Amino acid sequence: MGANVIPLFVVVSLSGAFLISLFGRKLKWFPDLIGSAFTALLLLLSLYAVKIVAEAGTLVYSAGSWKPPVGIVFVLDGLSSFMLVTVNLVAFCVAMFSINYMAKYTSKWKFYTLFLLMLAGMNGVLITGDIFNLFVFLEIASVASYALVAFGTERHELEAAFKYAVMSTVGSLFILLGIVFLYSATSTLSMADIALSLSPGKHSGILMLVSILFLMGFGLKAALVPFHAWLPDAHPSAPAPISAMLSGVLIKSLGIYSLCRIIFCVLGVSSQLLSILMVLGTLSMLIGVFLAIGQWDLKRLLAYHSISQIGYVILGISLGTPLGIIGGLFHLFNHSIFKSLLFLNSGAIEYTTGTRDLKKMGGLSEKMPITSTTALTAAMSISGIPPFNGFWSKLLIIIACVQAAKYWYGFWAVLASILTLASFTKVMKYAFFGNLKSQWAMIKEVPVFMKLSMIILAVICVFGGLLFFPGLREPFLLKASGVLLDAKTYASTVIRLVQ
Amino acid sequence: MSLFQEYFRFDNLSIFVGIFVWFFSILVTVYSMGYMRSEKRTPQYYLYIGLTLIASLGAVFANNLILFMVFWGFLGLLLYLLIGFGKNENTPATAKKAFILIGGTDVLMLLGISLVWKLTGLFEMDLISIPLTSKLAVIAYLCLAAGAFAKAGAMPFHTWVPDAAEDSPAPVTAYLPASLDKLLGIYFLARISLEMFRLDSGMNTFLMFIGSLTIVAAVMMALIQHDFKRLLGYHAVSQVGYMVLGIGTGNPIGIAGGLFHMLNHAIYKSCLFFSAGSVEKQAKTTNLDSLGGLAKYMPVTFVTFLIAAFAISGIPPFNGFVSKWMVYQGILETAKTGGKLWVVWLISAMFGSALTLASFMKLLQAVFLGQPAQGRKLAAKKENREVGILMWLPGVILAFLCLIFGIFALAVPLKHFIFPVILEPIRFFGFWSAGLATILLIISIVIGLLIYFLGRVAKLRQTDPFIGGEDLKNNPQMRISGTEFYNTVQEIGILKIIYRLAAKKIFDIYEVSSKITFGFNRALSYLHNGVLSTYLAWCLLGMGILFYLLLR
């Protein structure tokens, strides 16, 4: 198969969306089956992608056999395959969770169609080697996500979706503007080609301008402070599985991945840019957690933590050292796992009790043992308690900060971690511990598929730290960080493979 | 095997601590079989106890700092879960507080470990030896020490201990805050202070300051408590001061004293908490105002409590006396090397010891002696009044150890456990002859008993207690409960202000930092008003700043 596997990531998810919209309205069981089966297939494909990348190195697929710069290429390297696994793993668990969870909504098939469309957009962003194509996929994913945020069609959901759509479109606009400037400077849209045509001496002015535009555009998609304000409204309003997708993987594939890919591999990094990213990352880390700790709406609290954790990822990556990049990427993976698990837990609570208000919950561990155990696991992971996965990535980031002699950044990371712990012990206290409130005396644990997907994610939280151990880290984390460390070879590799 | 040796280390210190980790785990399990019998979720409870044992052993024997941190951090989570078995209204809040303080300092330790790695490039504890010359080394040491302080319950990270003592089940308190957390915290403090860092006199003075402050402040708080377990909790803090003080002296006798006190404290404090748990089990309360006169009903518990109380107050010939004596000698030793503050340390240590005795007098009066509170009845059947063997046996074993480790201090614990740890020779300024003193004490006790029994030969009239001709049974307000013994200290000059501030939780690092945090939270929440145009304005403003920074 080799390189021919690459377009399948888009094809499978798009055809899933197509099939569901075709048959889903008549056959009630059909959307559930296709949703889970196709995401499972995508997960297997992405694991296979990791395997072939580990064996054969970077792979390139030219769409319709048109060679760049005319045609569009799909590139599968260590970073893409790493991100593909992250996205599709979460997508699979979310799809399974939705089988039970979405039963209370009407027109489930619309949900799955939009869901798979969003997934197609995300997967497309991850594999494309063409900058305008990246923008198109990014818009597919974004538009699908606007609709999904508004899926409940209540007043506040529509309002949140509107805000989200406006802000996100502004971000897209600046990305498009950046692409326009790049195109005008280099007359090409292939990312490899752009990277080769840009010369620092001739294009330094335009490079700076474009970097800022991308920083703002992708920063907005990634919810970096000060471009973050849409997230706490948008993410909680979506149905819980979608919140898990948005916070777990969407902001990372559209935001962080695209930003890193373009800034590292196409434009080339400057220390100035990295230090700005470090400041933004640290600000996000602290402002996010300070905002989170006072929230009483569980999903809103989680959404603010997404901002904070994204800050860790950006801080790690923008250190630019091998350890920092590994730590940042590892935290990205871990965060998708535990944050989607936390959103699924909040969904499970909402499913049984109908509330997201922490003050109204209490003592739920008695009635919902699986939810509370998995929530504890995820909460400990995000707070960086050993031996859960979040501990390892935070450890790497803190060590990397100290290694790079950025002691204050290390300290801020520590401070944010303490506050994260504080806010999650608050969640545990109000939601699960203590005495059961009388109005919840009759509630039952959630149905089987919801349990199953939460358990899968919790198991990954417990054993995720193993991914950093020798033997497992080479094909996965080291391959991914190698792409960013060795970003200068991206263009030449792609061009060489196309010929 | 080589991989195992690379990550684990078995030296005298870790083996000594490891043995006692085992020992306390066994005792706590036995006690829990009695105490937790009718509770829910017992399989989970024993699972957590078992995991705590494994994690503690892992932390004690780990040689690699990262590996150590994994076990150490996991212990914080287990403590959190175990406190959760308490049934008080405040239990979830207490568990949260304990976990935030411990987990928070654990993250600081990560920073400390990173700094150590930056300075030496090593994670192996036995290879690291850093002089405290650079600013980074000092910060690294303080970060690591913060973790040890929080675990052991030294100031300023102590505030979770009294809360946890009050709100968690007695065996949990006896297990973690009273014994294992002390063993581990002081173990790690010893590791960093004696091996990984080469302390200078400034840092030693700092440690001794922390130690003295902890001793005096915590015992002052203990004096005014109204809850049996909470009072013991403050003593669990106060005693840590002696250990820190001992290690802070930096001379062999002081360090040996600190380590010995760590062991002794674990023994008698577990015993005290076991007694408190037994009292709670039988009397269904730990409020001192409603206890009293239990010595008659629970003789075994009373005797074990009495022995442990003497031990903690440093009364010869019990073990607490020996270790305190060694710590005092360590302080005197520092005077020789030019320290001028030794008087302060010595006075606060002795003062703390006296106040400890005073507050245990209060406890004895309020719980075991004195009159039973109005309207309280113990279990009707006489055989139900004392707790079962599973619950009194661990206490008896520990009380016995208090005695053995006191009388045969040189022959048993010091020779086998403590001195092998301290490689340098240890010199006493004239160690008291325990054998002779004990014989004299025993003789005096025997004579006392003889007089007592001879006195009983004469016929006595027994009557209900009365004051001023009024029968106490009918006038409960005239009962002397013991809880008010030291209430007047709160009225003395400057102490009045300090106690009032303490009541407002000004000295609680947890409360203070949570106030600051929520201040930030309110300010930031105010900015997030949900208006779309504001948010857009920020985006553009942010981009404007970026333009300014990069294109100027």
Task: Give, in degrees to the nearest 5, the angle at Cα B312 between B423 and B88.
Answer: 115
CB contact set of A400 (below 8 Å; sequence gap of 6+) = A316, A319, A321, A323, A324, A327
Residue A310, domain member (yes or no)? yes
Higher confidence at residue B435 or residue A398?
Answer: A398
How does pLDDT run across B150-161, given as a tens digit for each residue?
A: 998 888 888 888
Determine the Cα–Cα distance for residues A116 and A35; give it in Å rounded to an integer: 7
Q: Round the average pLDDT of chain B to a whole number and report it.
A: 82
Helix ranges, A320-406 (H): 322-353, 369-382, 389-403
Q: Does B116 touch chain A (CB under 8 A)?
A: no
How many domains would you assign to chain A? 1
Q: What is the mean pLDDT of residues A241-270?
A: 90
pLDDT tens, position by position, A62-104: 887 777 777 888 999 889 999 999 999 999 999 999 998 988 8
Reported for B511-516, long-range contacts at CB under 8 A and 24+ positions apart, including other chains, are B511/B159, B514/A422
Check: CB of residue A141 under 8 Å from CB of residue A125. yes
Asked whether B385 and B297 are in contact (CB, 8 A), the reply is yes
Residue A213: closest C-alpha in chain B: B543
Residue from B53, B20, B141, B61 nearest B397 by CA: B20
Question: Scanning every residue of chain B, which has its alpha carbon at the shortest distance from the alpha carbon of A411?
Answer: B111
Convert the pLDDT of each residue in A302-354 to its tens digit.
999 999 999 999 999 999 899 999 999 999 999 999 999 999 999 999 998 88
Listed in sequence order, the residues at least 6 apart from A305 whose beta carbon sits closer than 8 Å to its beta carbon are A288, A289, A292, A339, A382, A420, A423
Q: What is the secondary structure of B250-305 as a DSSP string?
A: -SHHHHHHHHHHHHHHHHHHHHHHHHHHHHHHHHS--BGGG---GGGT-HHHHHHH
Tell me if ipTM is over 0.85: yes
| pLDDT band at residue A44 under the 50/70/90 scheme | very high
Would you call B550 and A417 a contact, using CB atoms and an 8 Å cutoff?
no
Burial group, residue B116, by CB count within 10 angstroms (0-12, 13-18, 19+)? buried
> Does the pLDDT at position B423 exceed 80?
no
Residue B479 placed within a domain: no
- Pick among B539, B548, B551 to test the A interface (most A CBs inside 10 A): B539
Q: Token digits for B348?
A: 């606060």
- Contact (CB<8Å) A229/B542: no
Contact A429 B532 (CB under 8 A): no
B548 lies within 8 A of chain A by CB: no
Per-residue pLDDT averaged across A487-495, rounded? Answer: 87
Structural domain containing residue B231: 2-425+433-442
Q: What is the mean pLDDT of residues B498-503?
A: 76
Interface with A, mutate which of B107, B117, B123 (most A CBs under 10 A): B107
Which of B 30-69 lie inside 8 A of A, CB atoms? 66, 69
First vs last C-alpha separation in chain B: 61
For residue A68, which of A196, A193, A183, A179 has the smallest C-alpha distance? Answer: A193
Which of B418-430 are b and which e, b meaning 16 or more Cβ less than 10 Å from the residue's Cβ?
Answer: bbebbeeebeeee
**So what's the pLDDT on residue B429?**
57
- Per the CB < 8 Å rule, is B539 touching A170? yes
Of A174, A233, A398, nearest to B111 by CB-CB distance is: A398
Mean pLDDT over B511-536 rounds to: 84
Distance CA B35, CA B16 (A): 28
Contact B117 A403 (CB under 8 A): yes
The three-state DSSP-derived secondary structure of B426-459 is CCCCCCCCHHHHHHHHHHHHHHHHHHHHHHHHCC
In a domain, A440, yes or no: yes
The confidence score (pLDDT) of residue B380 equals: 44
For chain A, give the percent of residues with pLDDT over 70. Answer: 100
Q: What is the mean pLDDT of chain A?
A: 89
Domain range enclosing A425: 282-468
CB contact under 8 A, B111 and A387: no
Specify the amino acid at residue B200: D
Residue A107, amino acid? S
In a domain, B106, yes or no: yes
Q: Are B239 and B154 in contact, with CB atoms under 8 Å apart?
A: no
Does the beta-carbon distance from B107 to A273 stay under 8 Å?
no
- Residues B100, B510: contact at Cβ < 8 Å? yes
Q: Do the domain assignments include residue B200?
A: yes
Q: What is the number of structural domains in chain B?
A: 1
Taking 80 as the threshold, does the pLDDT of residue B99 lie above it?
yes
**Residue B158 contacts residue B92 (beta carbons within 8 Å):** no
For residue A26, give the 3-state DSSP assignment.
coil
Chain A contact for B93, CB < 8 A? Answer: yes
Q: Are A100 and A449 in contact (CB under 8 A)?
A: yes
Q: What is the pLDDT of residues A176-198, one digit of tens each?
A: 999 999 999 888 888 888 888 88
> Tell me, what's the pLDDT at A122?
93
pLDDT, tens only, B443-491: 777 887 777 777 666 566 666 666 676 666 665 555 666 666 677 777 7
Q: Does B78 touch chain A (CB under 8 A)?
A: no
Give the nearest partner residue to A386 out of B70, B525, B532, using CB atoms. Answer: B70
B17 belongs to a structural domain: yes
Chain centroid to CA B195: 24
Does residue B228 register a pLDDT over 70?
yes
CB contact under 8 A, B520 and A290: yes
pLDDT tens digits along B392-401: 888 888 888 8
A431, closest residue in chain B (CA to CA): B92
First-to-last alpha carbon distance for chain A, in angstroms, is 19
Instruction: Determine whether the interchain pair B550/A276 forms a contact, defined as Cβ–Cβ distance below 8 Å.
Output: yes
- Name chain A contacts of B108, Cβ cutoff 8 Å: 414, 418
Pairing between β-strand B466-467 and β-strand B470-471 as defined by DSSP bridges = antiparallel
Q: In this structure, which amino acid lies at residue B85?
A: F
Any domain includes B451: no
Give me the percent of chain B exceeding a pLDDT of 90: 7
Q: Does B449 touch chain A (CB under 8 A)?
A: no
> Is A49 strand, coil or helix?
helix
Number of Cβ within 10 Å of residue B335's Cβ equals 14
Q: In chain A, which residues have their Cβ closer than 8 Å to the Cβ of B517?
A: 290, 293, 419, 422
- The token pair at B18 is 């490891």
Q: Which residues of A touch B93 (CB under 8 A)?
A: 429
- Nearest residue of chain A to residue B534 (CA atoms): A229
Residue B374, judged by CB atoms within 10 A of its CB (0-12, 13-18, 19+), counts as middle
Interface probe with A: pick from B3, B535, B541, most Cβ of A within 10 Å: B535
B550 in any annotated domain: no
Please indicate, yes or no, if residue A148 is contained in any of the structural domains: no
Q: Determine whether the interchain pair A170/B71 forms a contact, defined as Cβ–Cβ distance below 8 Å.
A: no
Q: Which of A246-260, B220-234, B440-454 has the lowest mean pLDDT?
A: B440-454
Cα B249–B251–B257 angle (5° rounding)?
A: 75
Q: From B40, which residue of chain A is nearest by alpha-carbon distance?
A: A366
Q: What residue of A is the nearest CA neighbor of B535?
A: A229
* pLDDT, mean of residues A56-60: 87
Cβ–Cβ of A433/B66 closer than 8 Å? no
The stretch B162-180 carries a mean pLDDT of: 87
> Which residue in this structure is represented by tokens 């004490």?
B441
Three-state DSSP at A60 gives strand
Residues sharing a CB contact under 8 Å with residue A353, sequence separation 6 or more, in sequence order: A360, A361, A364, A440, A443
Q: Which residues of B touch A414 (CB under 8 A)?
A: 107-108, 110-111
- Do residues A265 and A483 lie in contact, with contact meaning Cβ atoms separated by under 8 Å? yes
Percent of chain A with pLDDT over 90: 52
- Contacts for A199 with CB less than 8 Å, ≥ 6 apart: none
Q: A226, A30, A354: which is closest to B538 by C-alpha?
A: A226
Q: Are A226 and B520 in contact (CB < 8 Å)? A: no
CA–CA separation, A367 and B81 (whole Å): 17
Of the candidates B114, B520, B528, the beta carbon closest to that of A398 is on B114
Task: Report the pLDDT averaged over residues B362-381.
Answer: 66
Classify residue B53: in a domain, yes or no.
yes
Confirm if A359 and A297 have CB atoms less than 8 A apart.
no
Q: Does A226 sit within 8 Å of B542, measured CB to CB? A: yes
Does an H or E element contain B326, and which? helix B319-336
Classify residue A219: in a domain, yes or no: no
Q: Is the pLDDT of residue B415 over 80?
A: no
Of the partner residues B76, B118, B541, the one whose CB lies closest to the CB of residue A402: B118
Chain B residue numbers with beta carbons less than 8 Å from the beta carbon of A361 are: none
